[in-house]
Amino acid sequence: MHIAHYIPLFPFLAFVINIFIGRKLKIASAYVAVAASSLSFLFSLQVLNGFKSGLGSYNLGTWLTIAGKPLDFGIIVDPLTIMMLLIVTFIGTFILIYSIGYMHDDPRFSRFFAYISLFMASMLGLVLADNFILLLIFWEGVGLCSYLLIAFWYERPAAAQAGLKAFVTTRIGDTGFLIGMMILFFACGTFHFTDLKSVTGPESLLTLAAILIFTGAMGKSAQFPLHVWLPDAMEGPTAVSALIHAATMVAAGVYLVARCFPLFVAHPMALQTVAVIGGISALMAATIATVNNDIKRVLAYSTISQLGLMMLGLGVGGLSAGTFHLMTHAFFKALLFLCAGSVIHSIGTQDIQKMGGLISKMKITGVAFCIGTLALAGVPPFAGFWSKDEILLTAWNNHHPILFGVALLTSFLTAFYMARLIFLVLFGKARSEMHAHESPATMTVPLIVLSFFAALAGFIGSPLKEVEMAGGHEGSFFIMLISTLISLSGLGLAYLLYIRRVVLLPMSSIKALHSLLVNKYYIDEIYDALLIKPCLRLCQGAFGFDTKVVDGAVNGVANVTQYCSGVLRRTQTGLIQNYLLVQVFGVVILLIWLLKI
């Protein structure tokens, strides 16, 4: 029987409970949230079971009628959705358990769990929606939760600004998304995903619609040029970064493209756009990550880069490759963020230049960190290797040599900067005074579970193998070899630079490049000068107009009234003879009028 629509309901209930009586429940609010999300996970497993025995998408009823066509509430159940459901509920549950320890001393403890539950409800609703409108509702829901959670410690101005930046930037993407949706409806009259396979309409309009829908995905998945919000979003608690900005919300963009894949495939220019943007983001973010000194920001840029890789995978026609990488990335990126959180929790700083030699003091965290790094770097037999290999394979087989080269270069840089990260943080000598201790069990147990999956998830294989594009064959040995060599050489280079301290190039020769990378290609500054400052000036102009002209007019009316009343007040002299005079005058007028007519 159909139970999929209950899955978002449990976290939503947890949100309602925690919002209203969370303060009284204190630590029990966390248990409510964990219980809800585990329940959703169990239901997702049941949905998987049901799907294997034939239960598929179903309808929940008509919502409204647009232009004569009914718009339904519906649930879509297919391998992509099931994969997303399992990822979100599974990782979400463990991150909630982790947060019990991480957010232990926070005064707004229960509200954190309420927000995370709301996020999970929106995310689950997003992946279950079977039409654009319903998806958009939940899309906005996750955007809202992201804002709330980034700015969770809103007493810090940096956090509040980061939340605003995230919201506004994704909003820009959402506007494109909405316009794209409307153009799609205008061109072919449907909002449902299942109809996209058989859509016909004017080529240019549909391409435009697809590209605009992709801008929504660009905003949510932090692709160039809308990537600027994700590094700043690291101001939020690390558990938030792990869940939302690594595993799930940013994957919503990739999910959207995968969901609309038939539309993109039918219009090659849109698909090309996806691949190119993905490639640019992947390479750009990887280069910035090589010089960054904040542990969380390195991981943020890594996320942007890996999402770019996923988009690239989808863009070269590899639906199964891209979604496979989404799945594995969710596991190891969440793992890496949780490890980073564990490190930050025990040491108190995020600057990696101040860390070093932690592996001896934080064994579990250290080992988990290494496993995550190896998975991300794409070293076999860890999970990342398999998914990245599929992307490379698809790119090669579908004749995209440039994008293949970009993906390869990105893998090299990924291995390099991740190795740099662990060498600086975990190995070597301690570079400053630190009191490090291992984190409590509520934090280490999720680490262990996730590292287990990060290591072995690759063997599950792509969940969408059945829908793979024609023209790909199972694993070419040559490609596997190349990608392994690239990863290992990246690790080796980092080892040389950071452990052996071999100086390959003097600093002065690459100073310009270094400063370009450290300043993130000055993109934030360019946006500020080009977009933000003129917008602010426009706002100030409008404000001046409002106070001087609009308020002036309103005040002017009041002043005129007051002036008139002041003039008219003079008729009330209080002298009876004046009143009598007016009366006699009135009588005279009356007489003239009545008697002459």
Partner 1 sequence: MIPLGYFTFLSAFLFCVGIYGALTRRNVIGILISIELILNAANINLVAFNKYLGSPDGMGQVFSLFVIAIAAAASVVGLVLIIAIYRDRKALFTDGFTLMKE
Partner 2 sequence: MNEAVFYFITICTCVFALLAVTQRDIFHCALWLAMTLLSVSGIYFYLDAAFLGVVQILVYVGGIITLFVFAIKLTAHIGVKSIRQTSKQWAISAFITLILLSILFRVFAKNPWANIQLEHKSTSVVQIGQSLMANYALPFEFMSVILLAAMVGAIVIGKVNK
Nearer Cβ to partner 1 (540/561): 561
Per-residue binder mask for partner 1 (CB under 8 A), 525-564, x = binder? ----------------------------------------
Q: Is the dihedral of CA 350, 356, 361, 364 positive or negative?
A: positive
List of residues 6+ apart from 533 with CB closer than 8 A: none
Which residue's CB is nearer to partner 2, number 564 or number 591? Answer: 591
Q: How far is the CB of 552 from partner 2 (least distance, A)?
A: 40
* Cβ-based nearer residue to partner 2, 506 or 574: 574
Residues 295, 343 contacting (CB under 8 angstroms): yes
Which of 503, 507, 595, 597 is in the footprint of partner 2 by CB under 8 A?
A: 595
579 near partner 2 (CB under 8 A): no
Tokens of 193: 């995903």
Are 487 and 379 in contact by the 8 Å Cβ rule? The answer is yes
575 binds partner 1 (CB under 8 A): yes
Does position 580 interact with partner 1 (CB under 8 A)? The reply is yes
| Helices (H), ranges, 221-350 | 229-232, 238-242, 249-259, 261-266, 268-289, 295-315, 319-347
* Sign of the four-CA dihedral 425, 427, 433, 439: positive
- Given a contact cutoff of 8 angstroms between Cβ atoms, the answer to whether 127 and 82 are in contact is no
Our CB check for partner 2 shows the closer of 56 and 586 to be 586
Residue 574 interaction partner, one of partner 1, partner 2, none, beta carbon < 5-8 Å per kind: partner 1
Q: Which of 111, 141, 90, 91 is nearest to 14 (CA)?
A: 111
d(CA 221, CA 56): 28
**Interacting span for partner 2 (CB under 8 A) from 217-225, 368-376, 560-568, 589-597:** 589-597
Choices 178-186, 305-313, 486-494, 573-581; region in contact with partner 1 by CB under 8 A:
573-581
For residue 488, what are its two tokens?
């290992």
Q: Which is nearer to partner 2, 549 or 581 (CB)?
A: 581
Please, what is the Cα angle at 295 between 293 and 301, to 5 degrees? Answer: 85
The binder of 588, among partner 2, partner 1, none, by C-beta within 5 to 8 A per type, is partner 2
Q: Report the candidate in 388, 381, 394 with the shortest Cα–Cα distance to residue 412.
A: 388
Find the shortest distance in angstroms from Cβ 570 to partner 2: 14
* Dihedral, 467, 468, 469, 470 alpha carbons, nearest 10: -100
Q: Please, what is the minimum distance in Å from the beta carbon of residue 578 to partner 2?
A: 7
Q: Which stretch binds partner 1 (CB under 8 A): 6-14, 138-146, 213-221, 575-583?
A: 575-583
Distances (CA, A) of 15 to 32, 102, 134, 135, 423: 9, 19, 20, 20, 40
> Please, how many CA atoms are within 13 Å of residue 494, restricted to the half-sphere of its CB?
25
Of 485 and 581, nearer to partner 2 (C-beta) is 581
Min dist CB 559 to partner 1, Å, is: 20
C-beta atoms surrounding 31 within 10 Å? 14
Shortest spacing between CB 582 and partner 2, in angstroms:
10
Choose the one of partner 2, partner 1, none that binds residue 507, judging by a C-beta under 5 to 8 angstroms depending on kind: none
| b (16+ CB within 10 A) / e for 120-156 | bbbbbbbbbbbbbbbbbebbebbbebbbbbbbbeeee
Which residue's CB is nearer to partner 2, number 503 or number 576? Answer: 576
> How many chain residues bind partner 2 (CB under 8 A)?
10
CA angle, 573 as apex, 568 and 578 as ends, to 5°? 105
What are 280's two structure tokens? Answer: 């640019």
User: Which of the stretches 132-140, 364-372, 388-396, 577-585 binds partner 2 when contact is defined by CB under 8 A?
Assistant: 577-585
Does 578 interact with partner 2 (rule: CB under 8 A)?
yes
The region of 68-76, 279-287, 389-397, 571-579 touching partner 1 under the rule CB under 8 A is 571-579
Contacting residue, 459, 577, 595, 597, with partner 1 by CB under 8 A? 577
Return the one option of partner 1, partner 2, none that residue 592 interacts with (CB less than 5 to 8 A, by type): partner 2
Identity of the residue, 49 or 578, whose beta carbon is nearer to partner 2 in the bound complex? 578
Residue type, position 473, single letter: H
How many chain residues touch partner 1 (CB under 8 A)? 10
| 572 scored as a contact of partner 1 (CB under 8 A) | yes
Please report how close the Cβ of residue 591 comes to partner 2 at its closest, in angstroms: 5
Cβ-based burial of 64 (10 A; exposed 0-12, middle 13-18, buried ≥19): exposed
Asked if 543 is part of the footprint of partner 2 (rule: CB under 8 A), the reply reads no
Q: Which is nearer to partner 1, 1 or 568 (CB)?
A: 568
Q: How many CA atoms lie within 13 A of 98 on its CB side?
A: 32
Positions touching partner 1 (CB under 8 A) are 569, 572-577, 580-581, 584
Applying CB under 8 A, the residues found at the interface with partner 2 are 577-578, 581, 584-585, 587-588, 591-592, 595
